[in-house]
Amino acid sequence: MSLKGFSVPLSPEGRATLTPLPPWFYSGDLLVVDFEARPEVVAAVLPPWLEPDSADPGGCTAFFADWQYASETGEERLDPVRSQYREFILLVNAGYAGRPVSTCPYMYVDKDSSLARGWIQGWPKKLADVCITRAAPLQSPAAPRVEPGALFAGTLSANGRRLADASVTLEKVSENPVYLGSRTILNVRYFPQLAGGAQARPAVHELVRSILSGAQRTEVWEGQASLTFFPAPDQELDVFQPQRIRRGYRYSAAFRVDDLEVVERLV
């Protein structure tokens, strides 16, 4: 077959594919709220290969991220509608082979190409609207600078319902920050089998780890944070309602995704 591309749709020129092969380049701003949910709520979303984190069984982190992306050709830079997207990531603590890790039970994004890359890497993305305060270089009541007292907010909505509201008020540069990747992330790559129905084993069901390079971070600022989840009939985020908010963070990051490691495989 001479069809080209990495994801569907494969096509003669490979331009129609939702995503080409890595490397995938990312640059973005992240608003982070580290918090504790009820440990049984965290335990209930762990995939087969992971156990609760005995040292911190209710530990969770919510990320609101405002990304720009480019493939190796970089053509997305001339068409920012294809480069830009925003997402919400919930990571929960887990243990794997005695080591502390994180895993992502729920994730939301506002662009199909990012949803496709997510599924391919084990991020269980659905579509949603995510909004995140942007930092500005000039002082104004309309936008914060990155400085003590600055207020950053993040919101998540899907199917016309608000799912999460968060805020972080910056205090200082953090000496021991929580950031995306501060714990190893093991996700579940999953693709169902329809033929055979409920009895069928999934076509893909494996524990994976993304292989990144070139990770950079700005200073991470920290401060007091708030986070509230709201119920929706087609979501299960609200059971993670924070029992205790630990700390909020705000920083910028850049990295590339190169490959994926399959850690465990069920099928």
The answer to the question of residue 98 lying near its own copies (CB under 8 A) is no
Q: How many residues bind its own copies (CB under 8 A)?
A: 107
Residue 26 or 179 having the CB closest to its own copies: 26
Rounded to a whole number of angstroms, the minimum distance from the CB of residue 11 to its own copies is: 5
What's the closest the beta carbon of residue 218 comes to its own copies, in angstroms? 5
- CA atoms within 13 A of residue 163's CA, in its CB half-sphere: 28
* Residue number, 97 or 151, with CB nearest to its own copies: 151
Q: Does 38 bind its own copies (CB under 8 A)?
A: no
Q: Confirm or reject binding of residue 127 to its own copies (CB under 8 A).
A: yes
Candidates 5-13, 51-59, 91-99, 176-184; binding stretch for its own copies (CB under 8 A): 5-13
Write the single-letter amino acid at 156: L
Taking the complex as a whole, how short is the minimal distance between the CB of residue 196 and its own copies, in angstroms? 7
By CB under 8 A, the residues from 136 to 155 that bind its own copies are 136-144, 151, 153-155
Binding segment (CB under 8 A) for its own copies, from list 3-11, 52-60, 176-184, 240-248: 3-11
* 55 contributes a contact to its own copies by CB under 8 A: no
Among 236, 241, 246, 264, binds its own copies (CB under 8 A): 236
- Residue pair 243/16 in contact (Cβ under 8 Å)? The answer is no
155 vs 222, beta carbon nearer its own copies = 155
Query: Which one of 55, 79, 98, 175 is in contact with its own copies (CB under 8 A)?
Result: 79
Smallest separation, CB 258 to its own copies (Å): 8
Interacting span for its own copies (CB under 8 A) from 62-70, 94-102, 175-183, 241-249 = 62-70
The answer to whether 189 and 205 are in contact (CB under 8 A) is yes
* φ, ψ for residue 50, nearest 5 deg: -110, 145
Please list, residue by residue across 173-187, b when 16 or more beta carbons sit within 10 angstroms of its beta carbon and e when fewer do.
Answer: ebeebbbbebbebbb
Q: Is 6 in the site for its own copies (CB under 8 A)?
A: yes
At closest approach, how far in Å is the CB of 175 from its own copies? 20
Span 168-187, contacts to its own copies by CB under 8 A: none
